[in-house]
Amino acid sequence: MIHALSIGLLVCCVSLAAQFVVNDSGQAAEPSAELEQARAQFIKNFKRIGLNTTPGDAAFLRLMVELRQAKRGVEVGTATGYGAMLMGLGFERTGGELITIEIDPKMAAAARKNFQAMQLEKTVKLIEGDALKVLPQLEGEFDFVFLDAVKSDYLKYLRAIEPKLKPGALIIADNAIRSAKDMQDFLDAVQNDPKYRTVIIRASDEKNDGMAVTLKIQ
């Protein structure tokens, strides 16, 4: 369930981000009806674990990817890949790609299998390792970031990827209500820095938590 605050945020973020989006014809071909049906069934039957994004939050993330027309995204904290799969479907539609980073080898292996089952290997690239080491090594620019790993390291993740963020980039940080104290330095940074606009939203009631959604305007 997406709350009224989330709908207002969508309108605000998308209208602002649209100022920075360059229209192009880089969208991928639509998947076949058979593949779409198989994917829908796989997601419906997916056995989520506690570290996975909730269905409501994952749907919100995919919507933001598509509305922003994001081309290059990075996720910190893959777990078994539920959120990355939904975002991957969004990036497939925009003709973009998602890089997702996971430090746990078992989680990474499970996620890779799930991406293969969804036939998203060309869109979603998993890098196994410590995000604080991986992020500075990534090349190119990014217009979408999702943080869902060690809460006390959120500001470190942001600083590591910040030089690569395009104007109009969206940075979405999970657990911004229940874990606010653990990520307070991150929240202070994105709420007080004039180059950012931030709103705390609740896209799903399942975990009684929310996300910090930040637009980079400079």
- What local confidence, expressed as pLDDT, does residue 30 receive? 80
CA proximity to 130, closest of 179, 168, 76: 76
- 68/30 Cα distance (integer angstroms): 18
Is-contact 161 214, C-beta < 8 A? Answer: no
CA proximity to 61, closest of 167, 140, 172: 172
- CATH superfamily for domain 4-17+52-216: Vaccinia Virus protein VP39 (3.40.50.150)
Q: What is each CA distance from 54 to 96, 103, 125, 202, in whole angstroms?
A: 23, 20, 21, 12
Residue for token pair 């990827």? 161
Question: Mean pLDDT throughout 46-68?
Answer: 92
Q: At residue 7, does pLDDT exceed 80?
A: no
Q: At residue 50, does pLDDT exceed 60?
A: yes
pTM surpassing 0.85? yes
Q: At residue 145, does pLDDT exceed 70?
A: yes
Mean pLDDT for all residues in the chain: 89
Both tokens assigned to 28: 């991928």
Q: Residues 152-176, buried b or exposed e (16+ Cβ, 10 A)?
A: ebbbebbebbbebbbebbbbbbbbb
User: pLDDT digit string (tens) for 86-133?
Assistant: 999 999 999 999 999 999 999 999 999 999 999 999 999 999 999 999
Both tokens assigned to 67: 């509305």
Question: Mean pLDDT throughout 64-87?
Answer: 97
Q: At residue 3, does pLDDT exceed 50?
A: no
**DSSP H or E segment with residue 131:** helix 131-134
- What local confidence, expressed as pLDDT, does residue 38 receive? 93
Assign 208 a pLDDT band (cuts: 50, 70, 90).
confident
User: pLDDT digit string (tens) for 101-114?
Assistant: 999 999 999 999 99
Question: Mean pLDDT throughout 10-34?
Answer: 58
In the three-class reduction of DSSP (H, G, I as helix; E, B as strand; rest coil), residue 142 is classed as strand
In percent, the amount of the chain with pLDDT more than 70 equals: 87
For the chain, the structural domain boundaries read: 4-17+52-216
In percent, the amount of the chain with pLDDT more than 90 equals: 78
- 19/14 Cα distance (integer angstroms): 9
Both tokens assigned to 77: 């904290």
Q: Which residue has the higher pLDDT, 146 or 32?
A: 146
- 31/82 Cα distance (integer angstroms): 19
Q: Specify the amino acid at residue 21.
A: V
- What local confidence, expressed as pLDDT, does residue 4 receive? 39
